[in-house]
């Protein structure tokens, strides 16, 4: 029987923010308290903490992380106060710092396209900007100067041509065309979502013009044929296994599989467009986030009990990090800074 490695997190919560996997699939990054943990995917060990200054009394609130689109061995760490620190995550070296004059809400990276920033100004207006070249004096280019709401459940396609998000109430879906700077909004109705569900999460397909929507009722709606067409309403099909709200969705990198998770503590792997699910049950706590590695050999799920699972593409658990009480663990040396 394979021995399962369980490692503790130290201090901090990781369930609030989505995890990130390095482009070479060697490392997993999670946001903790004022720092980012770098985990070795193969062993579950913590390589180091970055963006961490134990001598500082300033409160640092990290809100997002993304791989540098110009250098896949560097990590961009966004702080709420408008600072983006760019790190060499293998050597733990701070390369440079970019200052944005607004509060950062979220951060996404698209290879060969740039770094996408969702920000809020002093008048509580949300906007989307892009940094094309990640340098010390880089200035963001504004793409949308006034978004209609605080964006939730944000996702991009692989080319950086489309972006999708929902409003806080889960009643409106917004589609941003980043090529011609147009925005399209679709109100949830009985026609496009038959039970008039509220949307809990959304994920755009990496290669096709389709969107997967998780709902309050547990169904997953797949929308087609509407993003760049004259059709006002999408063609809709459904996947249904969850009996409780769907909390997270993620496509595999090539788009052939869709992952879903929620309160059932089960990771569901769907063959795209087909109602053929396979399952990884008994994960211990509701799944808050899930993501797929670039080489498609494993998935990472984070849970409401502050644990993280590294799960193979065959849905076997490879590593478990956190989610257990420190009193039951042997004394360990403090994590490296």
What is the tens place of the pLDDT at every residue in 202-226?
999 999 989 999 999 999 999 998 7
Higher-confidence position of 194 and 276: 276
- 97 vs 337: CA distance, rounded Å: 19
The answer to the question of residue 163 being in a domain is: yes
Residues 92 and 161 placed together within one structural domain of the fold: no
pLDDT band at 325 (very low <50, low <70, confident <90, very high): very low
Residues 138 and 198 placed together within one structural domain of the fold: no
Q: What are phi and psi of 246, to 5 degrees?
A: -80, 125
The DSSP H or E segment spanning 312 is strand 307-312
pLDDT band at 7 (very low <50, low <70, confident <90, very high): low
Q: Is the pLDDT of residue 170 over 50?
A: yes
Residues 29 and 70 placed together within one structural domain of the fold: yes
Share of the chain above pLDDT 70, in %: 88
Residues 140 and 249 placed together within one structural domain of the fold: no
Confidence (pLDDT) at 39: 95
**Burial of residue 161 (number of CB atoms within 10 Å: 0-12, 13-18, 19+):** middle
Q: Is the pLDDT of residue 228 over 80?
A: no
11 in Cβ contact with 33 (< 8 Å): yes
The answer to the question of residue 336 being in a domain is: no
Residues 169 and 272 placed together within one structural domain of the fold: yes
Spatial CA neighbour of 105 closest among 133, 124, 86, 131: 124
Residues 132 and 181 placed together within one structural domain of the fold: no
Residues 66 and 213 placed together within one structural domain of the fold: no
Confidence (pLDDT) at 59: 72
Give the range of the structural domain holding residue 21, as residue numbers without chain letter.
17-147
Give the mean pLDDT of 249-272. 97
Confidence (pLDDT) at 194: 67
The answer to the question of residue 87 being in a domain is: yes
Residues 204 and 247 placed together within one structural domain of the fold: yes
Q: Model confidence over 114-141: pLDDT tens digits? A: 999 999 999 999 999 999 988 877 789 9
C-alpha dist (Å) from residue 94 to 64, 79, 89: 17, 15, 9
Residues 155 and 143 placed together within one structural domain of the fold: no
Confidence (pLDDT) at 53: 62
Confidence (pLDDT) at 56: 57
Half-sphere exposure of 80 toward its Cβ, with a 13 Å CA cutoff? 10
Residues 28 and 75 placed together within one structural domain of the fold: yes
Q: Is the pLDDT of residue 335 over 60?
A: no
The answer to whether the pTM exceeds 0.85 is: yes
- 61 vs 78: CA distance, rounded Å: 9
Give the mean pLDDT of 47-66. 79
**Which are the contacts of 208, defined by CB distance < 8 A and separation ≥ 6?**
224, 255
Q: Is the pLDDT of residue 5 over 90?
A: no
Give the mean pLDDT of 48-77. 85
Last residue of a domain, one of 147, 175, 208: 147
pLDDT band at 328 (very low <50, low <70, confident <90, very high): very low
Confidence (pLDDT) at 138: 78
Place of tokens 């013009």: 209
């Amino acid at each position: 029987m394979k021995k399962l490695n369980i490692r503790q997190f130290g201090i901090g919560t990781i369930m609030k923010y989505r995890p990130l996997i390095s482009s070479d699939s060697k490392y997993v990054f999670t946001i903790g308290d004022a720092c980012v943990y770098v985990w070795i995917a193969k062993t579950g060990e913590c390589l180091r903490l970055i963006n961490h200054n134990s001598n500082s009394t300033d409160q640092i609130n990290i809100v997002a992380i993304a791989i540098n689109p110009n250098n896949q061995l560097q990590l961009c760490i966004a702080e709420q106060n408008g600072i983006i620190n760019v790190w060499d995550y293998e050597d733990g070296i701070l390369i440079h710092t970019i200052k944005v004059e607004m509060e950062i809400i979220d951060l996404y990276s698209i290879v060969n396209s740039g770094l996408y920033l969702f920000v809020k100004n002093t008048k509580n207006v949300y906007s989307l900007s892009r940094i094309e070249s990640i340098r010390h004096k880089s200035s963001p280019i504004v793409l949308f100067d006034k978004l209609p709401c605080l964006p939730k459940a944000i996702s991009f396609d692989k080319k950086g041509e489309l972006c999708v998000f929902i409003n806080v109430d889960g009643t409106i879906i917004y589609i941003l065309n980043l090529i011609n700077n147009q925005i399209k909004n679709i109100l949830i109705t009985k026609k496009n979502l038959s039970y008039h569900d509220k949307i809990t999460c959304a994920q755009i397909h990496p290669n096709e013009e389709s969107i997967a929507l998780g709902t309050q009722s547990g169904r997953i709606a797949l929308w087609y044929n509407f993003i760049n067409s004259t059709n006002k309403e999408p063609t809709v099909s459904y996947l249904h296994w969850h009996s409780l709200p769907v909390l997270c969705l993620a496509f595999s990198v090539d788009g052939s599989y869709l992952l879903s998770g929620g309160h059932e503590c089960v990771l569901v792997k769907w063959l795209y467009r087909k109602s053929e699910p396979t399952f990884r049950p008994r994960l211990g706590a509701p799944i808050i986030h899930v993501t797929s590695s670039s080489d498609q050999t494993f998935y990472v799920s984070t849970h409401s009990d502050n644990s993280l699972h590294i799960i193979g593409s065959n849905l076997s658990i490879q590593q478990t990090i956190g989610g257990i009480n420190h009193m039951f663990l042997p004394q360990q040396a403090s994590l490296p800074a």
